Chains A and B, each alone.
Chain A
Amino acid sequence: NAGVTQTPKFRILKIGQSMTLQCTQDMNHNYMYWYRQDPGMGLKLIYYSVGAGITDKGEVPNGYNVSRSTTEDFPLRLELAAPSQTSVYFCASSPPWDRGWDGYTFGSGTRLTVV
């Protein structure tokens, strides 16, 4: 059971480039989330999804886009990368609160540097 898989693990982007961070889960979780973690700043929610076709903004959505065409996949798109997007990105998933929810399952993270 792979859990939550993120790719790539590391990436260096030039300012203005675009890329997609991939996230796949095999636990049939309805809910999926994207967080970014900057040093000393904790985890900030970028976007989340409650199911296929449904997404919503989190605390820091500017500069990012998401889509959720299937239950398994929740890619995060960066358009026109900026140095402020240098961070570690974590994808997570969970079942609904009323179905044995006990926190998130996190992916291993993507370390992104924009130069």
Chain B
Amino acid sequence: QKEVEQNSGPLSVPEGAIASLNCTYSDRGSQSFFWYRQYSGKSPELIMSIYSNGDKEDGRFTAQLNKASQYVSLLIRDSQPSDSATYLCAVKAGGGNKLTFGTGTQLKVEL
């Protein structure tokens, strides 16, 4: 059983729309959750972190966490073509510093 699951996509949204990316995880002891953006041929870069249930907003990005449902999501408002990338969900379980990554969701923002 995968520990962190994401729909591989591609998820296609028109420019200016809201993109919704979802992630589920299996370890109920998970404490910290991260969204990384990865452009083709590049390394992952951190865009959001969330530690508590609820929403966390940063510019056009909103991360949502529901620990009871073991679900974390990323909303991108006013999607731009430059948002086209693969978005990786990563989870840190209790103890240690290791992150477990999902397989990523490819987002395509179309003009």
Residues of A within 8 A of B (CB): 31, 33, 35, 40-45, 48, 50, 58, 90, 94, 96-97, 101-104, 106-109
Main secondary structure of the interface of B (DSSP, over half): strand
- CB pair B43–A90 under 8 Å, yes or no, is yes
User: Contact: B101 with A33, CB < 8 Å?
Assistant: no
For A109, list chain B residues within 8 Å (CB): 42-43
Q: Are B98 and A103 in contact (CB under 8 A)?
A: no
What are 13 residue pairs bridging A and B, where the CB atoms are less than 8 Å apart in the complex? Answer: A33-B98, A41-B103, A48-B98, A50-B97, A90-B44, A97-B96, A103-B46, A103-B49, A103-B99, A104-B44, A107-B43, A108-B43, A109-B43
A96 lies within 8 A of B97 (CB): yes
- For residue A107, which residues in chain B have a CB less than 8 angstroms away from its CB? 43
Minimum C-beta distance from B10 to chain A (A): 12
Q: Determine how close the nearest CB of chain A comes to the CB of B25; give it in whole angstroms.
A: 13
Q: What chain B residues lie within 8 Å of A43 (beta carbons)?
A: 44, 88, 101
B65 at the interface (CB under 8 A from A): no
Whether A104 lies near B46 (C-beta < 8 A) is yes
Contact for B103 among A40, A101, A106, CB less than 8 A: A40
Q: A42-B101, A106-B44 known; 12 other A-B pairs, CB under 8 Å? A: A31-B97, A35-B101, A40-B8, A40-B103, A42-B88, A45-B98, A45-B100, A90-B43, A94-B97, A97-B97, A103-B46, A108-B43
Q: Is the CB of A104 within 8 A of B99?
A: yes
Of listed B97, B98, B100, B104, residue having the most chain A CB within 10 A = B97
Closest 8 A/B residue pairs (Cβ): A42-B103, A106-B43, A43-B101, A103-B46, A42-B101, A31-B97, A103-B34, A109-B43
